[in-house]
Amino acid sequence: MKIVAQNRKAFHDYFIEETFEAGMILTGTEVKSLRDGKANLKDSYVIIKDSEAFLLNCHISPYSHGNIMNHDPVRTRKLLLHRKEIMRLQGMAAQKGYSLVPLKIYFKGSHAKVEVGLAKGKRQYEKRESIKKKEADREIERAMKNR
């Protein structure tokens, strides 16, 4: 499994409660650009409209060796999920405070996949607590390593 892009900020801003794997409908130059690792998930999100899931604001850079038929970098991309999964996600995301966030783009075999997380937003004090916890864990790890 080759990871192309990760949304590290999502783990800082949200509690990820559940993850789903979805395929993406891409053009040829988008796939080539993904293989070069030219993708960015920052500020991207997933919406469900008319029983279909879409990935918005995901930036996939234009392919360097592409011609005039190159793709739009920030176009809306359709996600491939089973109907039951889409209905379940729609019901969960409709609850207050929940949203659908892409976590990473990767290749599984020859297919590009995106991992979508059902996320609940963190408050400012919760973000500070998680940072303190990470720092404390690092200190403990250093102390154990130096023994």
For the segment 121-142, the average pLDDT, to the nearest whole number, is 86
The vertex-73 CA angle with 72 and 76, nearest 5°, equals: 75
Confidence label for 97 from pLDDT (cuts 50, 70 and 90)? confident
- 3-state DSSP: the chain helix, strand, coil percent, rounded to 5? 35, 40, 30
pLDDT of residue 72: 83
The vertex-13 CA angle with 9 and 16, nearest 5°, equals: 95
Mean pLDDT of the chain: 89
For the segment 16-22, the average pLDDT, to the nearest whole number, is 92
pLDDT of residue 46: 93
* CA separation for the pair 74, 31 (Å, rounded): 14
Confidence label for 8 from pLDDT (cuts 50, 70 and 90)? confident
**Over the stretch 40-88, which tens digit does the pLDDT of each residue have?**
998 899 999 999 999 999 999 888 887 777 888 888 999 999 999 999 9
pLDDT of residue 127: 78
pLDDT at 24 over 90: yes
Confidence label for 113 from pLDDT (cuts 50, 70 and 90)? very high
Superfamily of domain 2-122: Small protein B (2.40.280.10)
The number of residues making up the chain comes to 147
For the segment 115-141, the average pLDDT, to the nearest whole number, is 87
Domain ranges of the chain: 2-122
